[in-house]
Structure 1
Amino acid sequence: MSVTEPDIAEPTEDAPEGWRLRPLQVRPGFLIRRLHQIHVALFLEECASEGLTPVQYSVLTALDQMGAVEQAALSRAVGLDRTNVAEVIVRLERRLFVRRRPSPEDRRMKLAMLTEVGRAALKRVEQSASRAHERTLAALPPDRRERFLEDLATLVESSNSMSRSPVVG
């Protein structure tokens, strides 16, 4: 689907209504949300056999890369608030993908860690998740994909502190 843009001046500080006058389908927030929805659908389709969501996959990947980690640090690593991370951990713990134990430094804090069952699930879903990423970018010519990812990273990094759950690390 190609969206042609009407002849409307670019939005400026002097004309904030410029975005309001543009079709919804060319606004950055709309496009980013739609691309996210599309990627989630592709991920769920590709990873259906393992029954993992993109967020669960992110948490498992972070645990694989970070080792045993306190849930607050994990929430900062994946850009989710603590409550959501705690809920994801509970679901992954039920499936034996993750284990929690008290921190040796502070017994009130829990460390989450990937189990061998979780590591095996991550390995099984690796190619499927990769296909989802490739399918998300497939409409772009190969020579523009890395640039697109760099531009996305720039946008995210430049506004990271404005997020309710900024990524740290």
Structure 2
Amino acid sequence: MSAKNAGSKPNKPADVIETGRLWQRPGFLIRRLNQIHISLFYESCKDFGITPVQYGVLTTLREHPNLDQTSLCAEVGVDRTTMADVLHRLEDRGLVKRKPSPTDGRIKIASITPRGLKVTEDMYEAMREAQIRFLSPLTPQDRATFVRMMLQLVEGNNQYGRTLLKHFD
């Protein structure tokens, strides 16, 4: 922020973004926050050997059983290639199973296995701890505001993602 704007409230994006300064670029900060979150997730969840995306897929399959790959992509927000790899890895570990769709044999339906449900349940507290640690520098009110604002940014920019998210809870 320039010296003349230092005491005033910003009105437009140009007032808050000085692209010459790395630490004021939203994209840089989001990337750095993602790195920090992943590090905290792995630290808290290291005993499970599950990535954040894998945990997201398991959680989605727990909440919405028997989804095809395209629907899973739309629920989790990852591209088809990444989803195929994630499902393959989870299937190799016995956490997910895939079977042909009864209506279209070209489509595979994924479902979480009992073992996948157990891992997801056993991992929940560790995952929750990572989220709490990640947000701990903020006040409780700021945590809710931050999450709400992130959701607003994701919803408002959804069309620019490699995969469109289907809905927002």
- Per the normalisation by structure 2, the TM-score is 0.89
The CA distance in 2 between the partners of 1:89 and 1:136, in whole Å, is 27
Match of residue 69 from structure 2: 71
Q: 1:167 aligns with which of 157, 165, 168?
A: 165
Match of residue 34 from structure 1: 32
Match of residue 140 from structure 1: 138
Q: 2:112 aligns with which of 108, 111, 114?
A: 114
**5+ residue gaps, structure 2:** none
1:20 aligns with 2:19: yes
> In 2, are the aligned partners of 1:11 and 1:19 still within 8 Å (CA)?
no
Q: Alignment identity in percent? A: 40
Query: Per-residue deviation at 1:116?
Result: 0.3
AA at the equivalent of 2:110: A
The CA distance in 2 between the partners of 1:11 and 1:19, in whole Å, is 14
- Shift of the 115–20 alpha-carbon distance from structure 1 to 2, 3 Å rule, reads same
For residues 14-45 of structure 1, what are the alpha-carbon distances to aligned partners after superposition, in whole Å with 9 as ceiling and x for unaligned? x79x6333x20121011111001000000001
Query: Per-residue deviation at 1:166?
Result: 1.3
> In 1, are the aligned partners of 2:23 and 2:29 still within 8 Å (CA)?
yes
> In 1, are the aligned partners of 2:18 and 2:24 still within 8 Å (CA)?
no
For residues 80-138 of structure 1, what are the alpha-carbon distances to aligned partners after superposition, in whole Å with 9 as ceiling and x for unaligned? 00110000000000100000000001011000000000000001100000001111100
Moved over 3 A (4+): 5-13
- Per the normalisation by structure 1, the TM-score is 0.89
Match of residue 84 from structure 2: 86
The CA distance in 1 between the partners of 2:127 and 2:4, in whole Å, is 39
AA at the equivalent of 1:62: T
**5+ residue gaps, structure 1:** none
Counting matched residue pairs gives 162
Match of residue 7 from structure 1: 3
